[in-house]
Amino acid sequence: ETGVTQSPTHLIKTRGQQVTLRCSSQSGHNTVSWYQQALGQGPQFIFQYYREEENGRGNFPPRFSGLQFPNYSSELNVNALELDDSALYLCASSLKGPAGGRRNEQFFGPGTRLTVL
């Protein structure tokens, strides 16, 4: 059973550029959530994808967008990068059951460290 993997590990971009981060979910998981962790803070929920559709979104602007693929891997895209976007971006996968099913813990990847200059 492989865990959650993310690529790249580190990334440096300049303000105004666009970036794509990738995540492979843990085997058997069908749900992917993305979090932003700024320095000294806890992870902040960006959005979640379930069966290739967005299934909940945090307080992030539309320039943060995502995709989930049929194999449940996912991408996070950020357009028009700003300096404050510098953070660790974490992907977490989980197995979502039927509607009303119990909540399961999320399994996190190691993250992608994004630096915006």
Hey, which residues between 51 and 90 contact another protein (CB under 8 A)?
A: 55-56, 58, 90
* Residue 114 within binding range of another protein, rule CB under 8 A: no
Cα–Cα nearest to 107, from 11, 31, 21: 31
The amino acid at 31: T
Nearer to another protein, 28 or 103 (CB): 103
* Residue 104 within binding range of another protein, rule CB under 8 A: yes
Hey, which residues between 1 and 60 contact another protein (CB under 8 A)?
A: 4, 31, 33, 35, 40-45, 48, 55-56, 58
Nearest 5 degrees, angle CA 10-CA 76-CA 64?
110
* 98: preceding bond cis by omega (within 30 degrees): no
* Residue 103 within binding range of another protein, rule CB under 8 A: yes
Strand partners, 60: none
Report in angstroms how near the CB of residue 15 gets to another protein at its nearest.
26
